[in-house]
Amino acid sequence: MNCKSGIYAIVNIKNNNLYIGSAVNIEQRWWQHRSDLRTKVHRNKHLQHSWNKYGEEIFVFLRIEECEKESLIQREQYYIDTMNPEYNILRVANSQLGLKRSAESCKKMSDSKKGKPSNFKGNPSPMKGKHHSEKTRIKMSLSHTGVPHPFKIKKRAEKINNDM
């Protein structure tokens, strides 16, 4: 796998709007962008909306410059300043400066910090307020130790006896 770091652009070839980004591993970053856009969970709502509207085939991924990890942010900022990318919400590389959140987003973030555990998609945890039984905890522990479940041991023994 090619693990080169550098600056990249995601370009809408229909209207020439673009997104500028930097990554330690450009290939992996493009894979992550595509995955998030395809599943409609990309953090950049402008880019996601355009992807949904025009379709995947309208977007191309371009390597703009390969550079050392230490200069990624500086080089990304240079391209943001000179190319004025339409899809970049943040105008400062690697920063949340200038990000404006809606009142609804602020409320959601506030609520999420008030002891409401959630999974990675923001849904309430199905185990909130529940506890595993002692029997279940033992089974889970055994599953992580490599010791086969007693049912599997019994099945194997029966298979060996039947084969004899």
DSSP class of residue 118?
Answer: B
Write the pLDDT tens digit of every residue in 73-106.
999 999 999 999 999 988 777 744 445 667 887 7
Q: Which residue has the tokens 């370009």?
A: 11
Mean pLDDT confidence for 137-164 = 66
The alpha carbon of 21 is separated from its chain's Cα centroid by a whole number of angstroms, namely: 15
Q: Are 75 and 67 in contact (CB under 8 A)?
A: yes
* Domains, the chain, with CATH or none: 6-100 (3.40.1440.10), 134-163 (no CATH)
Tokens of 158: 């029966």
Q: Which residue has the tokens 């880019």?
A: 47
Gap between the Cα atoms of 37 and 43, Å rounded: 9
More confident residue, 122 or 52: 52
Q: What is the pLDDT of residue 146?
A: 64
In this predicted structure, the answer to whether residue 119 has a pLDDT above a threshold of 60 is no
Confidence band for 10, pLDDT divided at 50, 70 and 90? very high
- Reduced to 3 DSSP states, what percent helix, strand and coil does the chain have, rounded to the nearest 5? 45, 15, 40
Confidence band for 1, pLDDT divided at 50, 70 and 90? very low
Greatest CA span in the chain, whole angstroms? Answer: 77
Gap between the Cα atoms of 147 and 133, Å rounded: 20
More confident residue, 16 or 116: 16
Q: Are 86 and 17 in contact (CB under 8 A)?
A: yes
Element housing 7 (H / E): strand 6-12
Q: What is the pLDDT of residue 159?
A: 65
